[in-house]
């Protein structure tokens, strides 16, 4: 008898776990499948793995470029140091399935050799552009994560922040500095990257501008 009662109780637990708690009315039973289907449809991604139209917005950046860099941090008296010998090569990284752009910059900045590697992509699930750079000046990765976008645009504003290793001077050493990269596609043969910093207690200011002209 005890064995039979135990089996019956176990069966009841399985049934409740499968169908859920008793419903309040027949109407609730009718609504449940529709609600589940609606929830599943909302959760199902259209295609969060493959490159899409927001990746295609970046296609004009692909190619080999002559770059002129205006750096205000290294300049004096409000005038930037200008480098005119930079070459930039941008390509879709095929081994990522064309999900990320690679940018390689080489030239000189001031009197020193300069190198930068950048990776730019779009996260479909977050609906945001993401940009990370590594260069021969800053001893840390500079990482940016944009706000969710709803429309394609020729101007991308991608914010981030970094811990200042001293590039803004000793007063800001170790401070967290908000930053923002603005990518403006002006034509298929020309675009700009503007970098802004917002030091604590100060307004946002332009610290670096790169003007790209396609090498034909």
Percent of the chain with pLDDT over 90: 72
Q: Tell me the HSE value of 85 on the side-chain side, using a 13 A CA sphere.
A: 9
Give alpha helix (H) positions in 44-164: 53-56
Range in 49-53, 104-108, 154-158 with the lowest mean pLDDT: 49-53
Whole-angstrom distance, CA of residue 36 vs CA of residue 28: 12
Q: Which residue has the higher pLDDT, 40 or 158?
A: 158
If pLDDT is split at 50, 70 and 90, which confidence band does 216 have?
A: confident
207: nearest Cα among 170, 179, 184: 179
**What does the pLDDT look like over 90-146, one tens digit per residue?**
999 999 999 999 999 999 999 899 999 999 999 999 999 999 999 999 999 999 999
């Amino acid at each position: 008898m005890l064995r039979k009662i135990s089996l019956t109780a176990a069966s009841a637990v399985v049934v409740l776990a499968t169908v859920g708690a008793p419903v309040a009315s027949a109407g609730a039973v009718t609504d449940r499948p529709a609600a589940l289907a609606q929830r599943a449809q909302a959760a199902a991604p259209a295609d969060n793995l493959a490159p899409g139209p927001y990746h295609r917005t970046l296609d004009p950046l692909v190619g080999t470029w002559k770059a002129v860099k205006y750096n205000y941090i290294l300049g004096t008296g409000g005038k930037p140091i200008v480098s005119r010998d930079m070459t930039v090569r941008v390509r879709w990284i095929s081994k990522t399935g064309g999900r990320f752009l690679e940018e390689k910059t080489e030239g000189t900045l001031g009197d020193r050799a300069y190198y930068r590697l950048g990776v730019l992509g779009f996260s479909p699930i977050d609906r945001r552009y993401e940009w990370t750079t590594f260069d021969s000046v800053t001893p840390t990765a500079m990482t940016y994560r944009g706000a969710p976008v709803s429309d394609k645009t020729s101007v991308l504003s991608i914010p981030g922040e970094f811990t200042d290793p001293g590039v803004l001077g000793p007063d800001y050493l170790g401070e967290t500095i908000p930053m923002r990269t603005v990518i403006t596609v002006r034509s298929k043969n020309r675009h700009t990257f503007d970098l802004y910093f917002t030091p604590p207690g100060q307004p946002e200011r332009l610290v670096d501008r790169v003007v790209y002209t396609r090498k034909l």
